Amino acid sequence: MARTHDTLDDNLREWIAAQHVFFVASAPTDTDGHVNLSPKGYDSFRVIDDHTVAYLDLTGSGVETIAHLNDNGRLTFMFCGFEGPPRILRLFGRGEVVRPGNTDFESLVGLFPPLPGVRSVIRCEIERIQSSCGYSVPFLTYESERETLADWAARKGPEGIEEYHLEKNQVSIDGLTGLPA
């Protein structure tokens, strides 16, 4: 049975912090556009306060979430209890892309461990907090993080990452603006 919560209380914060993976969903305003759903790992999610969260956005092959946030700001996070008691938690809100050079970027990026290839920090004001049972979610055992993305970004270096952004992160698959040139 679904339950709504007024805030991200201590119990929810502790549970979120214990999860090794979360999912980010976004969609363009145009109904012909593609809905995007991305898994995220590393230690890249933070609860800022009772209604604000942020995650470290690392360079990737697509720029869908950033493009959708530029378009309409809608964002949903989902966490699943793969270990321990069954639980699904969804956070619905309005997000923004905080890029290097933004006045809040340094304070936000400082909340996370240093990782190569940081593209932005996505900050989201949560409008709805909803948990459900998760009875059908399988048990999965955490083994370790994949270091592939961090290793790739470290090999590219800051200049290579910037070139990659210019080549691959300017426009979404639906033609929406991603990163500025």
* Whole-number pLDDT of residue 1: 73
Helix, coil or strand: residue 27: coil
**Residues in Cβ contact with 5 at an 8 Å cutoff, skipping those fewer than 6 apart:** 12, 129, 130, 131
Q: What is the DSSP-derived secondary structure letter of residue 61?
A: S
Chain centre to alpha carbon of residue 130: 17
In a 10 Å sphere around its CB, with 0-12 CB exposed, 13-18 middle and 19+ buried, how is residue 67 labelled? Answer: buried
Give the per-residue SS3 of 156-167: HHHHHHHHHHHH
Q: Among 109, 138, 105, 98, which Cα is nearest to 43's? A: 109
Going residue by residue through the chain (181 aa), what tens digit of pLDDT does each one get? 799 999 999 999 999 999 999 999 999 999 999 999 999 999 999 999 999 999 999 999 999 999 999 999 999 999 999 999 999 999 999 999 999 999 999 999 999 999 999 999 999 999 999 999 999 999 999 999 999 999 999 999 999 999 999 999 999 999 999 998 8
Helix, coil or strand: residue 148: helix
* Whole-number pLDDT of residue 179: 96
Chain centre to alpha carbon of residue 73: 13
Q: Among 2, 1, 4, which Cα is nearest to 126's? A: 4
CATH of domain 3-168: 2.30.110.10
Strands 3-5 and 118-132: antiparallel
The two structure tokens encoding residue 118: 């940081």
* Whole-number pLDDT of residue 181: 80
